[in-house]
Amino acid sequence: MRYHKLGSSEIEASVLALGTWVTGGGVIWGAKPDDSESVRVIQEALDSGINFVDTAPAYGFGHSEEVVGKAITGRRDKVIVATKCGLWWHDNRGSDNGVFDGRAWRKSLRPDTIRIEIEDSLRRLKTDYIDLYQTHWPAVEPEKTPIADTMECLVDLQKQGKIRCIGACNLSMPEIQEYGEYAPLVSHQLRYSMLWRGAEAQMLPCCEENNIATLTYMSLEQGLLTGKIRMDRVFKSEEFRSVESWNPWMPPKNRQRVLNLLDGWSDLLDKYGCTQAQLTVAWTLAQRGVTHLLAGARTLPQLRENLKGADLVLEPGDLARMRRDIEALGEPEPGE
């Protein structure tokens, strides 16, 4: 396993981080996860060189953090724990964010809700400090808490020893610049994959130039880029994969194009002795500005497959060929 520092911090984090969104469960994931299997996945990840686990209160409304807390009991000093704040479901503070997984929630980066969230996360994770504390989404109108107020709160929590480093997720270019005016931002978690490359234009170069670690999520596109979601797969309407605004390549008309792309790399799978998931992980980690990749795992075989991808190094010519193929794919066709 390779390791990179989280931005300007001294924290050495594995380039492959274990994401635990699926660990929280909920109807959006279809089948209910097995908590005992989730604990085994986290513990084997730690045994295999991953030292970086990312979670959030919003993942299962606290359930993911509870499972992570159980899994790391007795080995807390060996784990870099990242969690988040800013998605709020307890009362009407913050701005409406619709309904997700059957429950109404809101975006809130108010200092008073953050201080409640940090205590809840510490309790669920069974720890007295968080290594990387991230704002999950920027605040929005009508209750758009000024970044200065949010950062003042986070810096105070840092001074208290409750968090070691401050990170953020899903920021725009102006937002990431403003965050940095108040305190060092060591990481930015953002969506990035072969099929979702908007961050290449400005965000990834900006993070690289400013020594901000990047944690890419949905880099396997909910399993589509593993090649295992074939044309016969049908999703329930409540599953997250069926939300076309988030997963525009999942509908059959676009999915076939992606599968054709992946099938065209069969010689690369033979050359490197790898699976499509491993090839995808390796390609993503090789891109400019990408320092860490988040990948979830519901089962031990999924974890083991992802692990091998983190150690795979692709030749420059193969990286360039894959990019040409990806760019030739174009954009997904809009829904009907």
Radius of gyration in angstroms for the set of CA atoms belonging to the chain, rounded to a whole number: 19
Please give the pLDDT value at position 31: 67
* Mean per-residue pLDDT, 140-153: 98
Nearest-5° Cα angle at 270, 269 to 274: 45
> Over the chain, what is the mean pLDDT?
95
In the predicted structure, residue 335 carries a pLDDT above the cut 80: no
Contact 147, 124 (CB under 8 A): no
Does 324 or 27 have the greater pLDDT score?
Answer: 324
* 59 counts as catalytic: yes
Quote the tokens at residue 1: 């396993």
**Pairwise CA distance, residues 320 & 153, whole Å:** 44
154: which residues sit within 8 A by CB, 6+ positions away? 114, 133, 135, 163, 166, 183
pTM: 0.95
Residue 224's pLDDT is what?
Answer: 95
Q: Tens digit of pLDDT for each residue in 189-243?
A: 999 999 999 999 999 999 999 999 999 999 999 999 999 989 988 888 777 788 8
pLDDT digits (tens, 9 = 90+) for 253-280: 999 999 999 999 999 999 999 999 999 9
Per the listing, tokens 């234009």 go with 201
Per-residue model confidence as pLDDT tens digits over 50-98:
999 999 999 999 999 999 999 999 999 999 999 999 999 999 999 999 9
pLDDT in tens, 25-53: 877 777 678 999 999 999 999 999 999 99
pLDDT at 241 (0 to 100): 82
Given the residues 3, 59, 182, 217, select the one marked as catalytic: 59
Residue 336 pLDDT > 60: no
pLDDT digits (tens, 9 = 90+) for 103-125: 899 999 999 999 999 999 999 99
Q: Which domains does the chain have, with CATH numbers?
A: 3-227+275-313 (3.20.20.100)
Q: Looking at residue 27, what is its pLDDT? A: 76
Q: What are the structure tokens assigned to 254, written together?
A: 């676009």
